[in-house]
Chain A
Amino acid sequence: MMPVTGGTINMMEYLLQGSVLDQSLESLLHRLRGLCDNMEPETFLDHEMVFLLKGQQASPFVLRARRSMDKSGMPWHLRYLGQPEIGDKNRHALVRNCVDIATSDNLTDFLVEMGFRMDHEFVAKGHMFRKGIMKIVVYKIFRILMPGNTESIEPLSLSYLVELNVVAPAGQDVVSDDMRNFAEQLKPLVHLEKIDPKRLM
């Protein structure tokens, strides 16, 4: 799903998030189908595992390993996300450094060999849309009842998480303006906002 990046050392992820209750899903999908690029409806079922490497630094290094459960032959997706940039209040989206890497399927064994340990895992099931360089995903998070067993899962909540994101080279703040404009068109079905994960903890 990620575009092939030219190996620029500073790709940034611009993110806006919101949520909708289960009963509002269909109207949101209908609106998105109308606003977004014309393409075959795309659904996904992914298993994500979050790994931590503890060092002497106060905060451990976090890496996210994601694999597709419904599409065979896809590479695993390894993702690093930096701390959100403390930009000016006028910036409309959350901005953080990101590195996306496609890997072979022995990723978890390799991460453990590097010293990482799995902190938690979940299953994400939902829909994906695109509008130009913007990606919109509407998905439900499922808790995995027994570690490693993705067959028995249960929904974490009665809602769907909605994310609008763009991965672009650093310094392209005009991206967040385009995102804000798009987000306006989704109101009042969903309110997409800049949510700083630290404020939730």
Chain B
Amino acid sequence: MGVTCVAQVPVAEGKSLQQTVEILTRKLELLGAEKQGTFCVDCETYHTAASTISSQGQTGKLMYVMHNSEYPLSCFALFENGPCLIADANFDILMVKLKGFFQNAKANKIESRGTRYQYCDFLVKVGTVTMGPSARGISVEVEYCPCVIANDCWNLLMEFMQSFMGNHTPGIPSVFGTKHDSIYSPADTMVQYMELFNKIRKQQQVPVAGIR
């Protein structure tokens, strides 16, 4: 996958979440981007069961198991500030077998769903982030497909994002900092989504009806 930046866009002043998503997608369409289907990125949270903690003497840890429709046969499992494992879809079955040791915090399941747009060498995904029945925020993922070295194309990515995100353009993602010249990987995108989801979970609920 090409170098990707995932960012949150705040709900526009005086507008609903749905309307803000429409403003963004309209700007993309005016630029000439073409709709290319939909996408979904989801994240489930597991915590170490109390029984394991007491016998291993370790503190409880949160493990995130994520899926990305761009990689339908894969599953991403990660720890905050820890390794990110890329596995095939059977990893979900393993988590069912491990339910005595890792409990699924079902209420914490969070996902971002929306439309995929292609604009020349860029792939843009604008999604509504939901937790259960309520919409909690907006995510924008921008990928510059031809480049796989993060620091080589950050300026170009930023310039492109400014053309439709204006001053909501984010700063350089923290995962880029550790990359140096190593090849960008889908795991880096999942880490960015995990950080975005964690931030949104901590934010106040959007005080609107959510998706209609």
The answer to whether residues A113 and B54 also contact, given A55-B49, A101-B88, A101-B94 and a CB cut-off of 8 A, is no
B123 at the interface (CB under 8 A from A): no
User: Measured between C-beta atoms, what is the minimum distance from B105 to chain A in Å?
Assistant: 16
Task: Bin the interface of chain A by size.
Answer: 20 to 34
CA distance A114 to B195 in the complex (A): 20
Contact with A along B79-97 (1 / 0, CB 8 A): 1001111111111111011
Residues in B neighbouring A7, C-beta threshold 8 A:
89-90, 92-93
Q: Are B85 and A115 interface neighbours, CB within 8 A?
A: no
User: Measured between C-beta atoms, what is the minimum distance from B68 to chain A in Å?
Assistant: 14
Q: Are A54 and B56 interface neighbours, CB within 8 A?
A: yes
The answer to whether residues A99 and B94 also contact, given A53-B52, A54-B56, A55-B49 and a CB cut-off of 8 A, is yes
Residues in A neighbouring B98, C-beta threshold 8 A:
53, 61
Residues in A neighbouring B77, C-beta threshold 8 A:
110
Q: Are A9 and B63 interface neighbours, CB within 8 A?
A: no
A103 at the interface (CB under 8 A from B): yes
CB contact list, A63-120 vs B, under 8 A: 78, 80, 82, 99-104, 106-107, 109-110, 113-115
B155 at the interface (CB under 8 A from A): no
Contact with A along B59-72 (1 / 0, CB 8 A): 00101000000000
CB closest chain-A residue, reference B92: A7
Residues in A neighbouring B18, C-beta threshold 8 A:
none
B203 at the interface (CB under 8 A from A): no
A181 at the interface (CB under 8 A from B): no
Q: Are A55 and B87 interface neighbours, CB within 8 A?
A: no
| Residue in A54, A57, A80, A115 with the greatest tally of chain B CB atoms within 10 Å | A115
CA distance A7 to B54 in the complex (A): 33
B122 at the interface (CB under 8 A from A): no
CA distance A7 to B95 in the complex (A): 13
Give the secondary structure class of B's interface: mixed
- Which of B63, B87, B90, B100 makes the CB contact (< 8 A) with A5? B90
Number of chain B residues close to chain A: CB under 8 A: 32
Residues in B neighbouring A149, C-beta threshold 8 A:
none
- Which of B83, B89, B93, B102 makes the CB contact (< 8 A) with A113? B83
CA distance A61 to B84 in the complex (A): 21
CA distance A55 to B56 in the complex (A): 7
The answer to whether residues A56 and B54 also contact, given A78-B94, A113-B61 and a CB cut-off of 8 A, is yes
Q: Are B55 and A55 interface neighbours, CB within 8 A?
A: yes
Q: Are B82 and A113 interface neighbours, CB within 8 A?
A: yes
CB closest chain-A residue, reference B90: A101
The answer to whether residues A101 and B87 also contact, given A9-B93, A55-B100, A113-B79 and a CB cut-off of 8 A, is yes
CA distance A100 to B91 in the complex (A): 8
User: Measured between C-beta atoms, what is the minimum distance from B53 to chain A in Å?
Assistant: 9
Contact with A along B93-118 (1 / 0, CB 8 A): 11011101110000000000000000
Q: Are A57 and B100 interface neighbours, CB within 8 A?
A: yes
Q: Are B90 and A100 interface neighbours, CB within 8 A?
A: yes
Q: Are A110 and B85 interface neighbours, CB within 8 A?
A: yes
Residues in B neighbouring A78, C-beta threshold 8 A:
87, 94
- Which of B63, B83, B87, B93 makes the CB contact (< 8 A) with A109? B83
The 6 closest A-B pairs by CB, nearest first: A56-B51, A104-B86, A110-B85, A103-B87, A101-B90, A55-B52
Q: List 19 A-B contacts (CB under 8 A).
A: A5-B90, A7-B93, A53-B98, A53-B101, A54-B52, A54-B55, A54-B56, A56-B52, A56-B54, A57-B51, A61-B100, A80-B97, A101-B94, A104-B187, A106-B85, A110-B85, A113-B83, A115-B48, A115-B56
A interface list, Cβ under 8 A from B: 5, 7, 9, 53-57, 61, 78, 80, 82, 99-104, 106-107, 109-110, 113-115
Extra contacts, 16 of them, besides A9-B93, A103-B85 (Cβ < 8 A), are: A53-B101, A54-B55, A56-B51, A56-B52, A57-B51, A78-B87, A80-B94, A99-B94, A99-B97, A101-B87, A101-B91, A103-B87, A106-B85, A113-B83, A114-B61, A114-B63
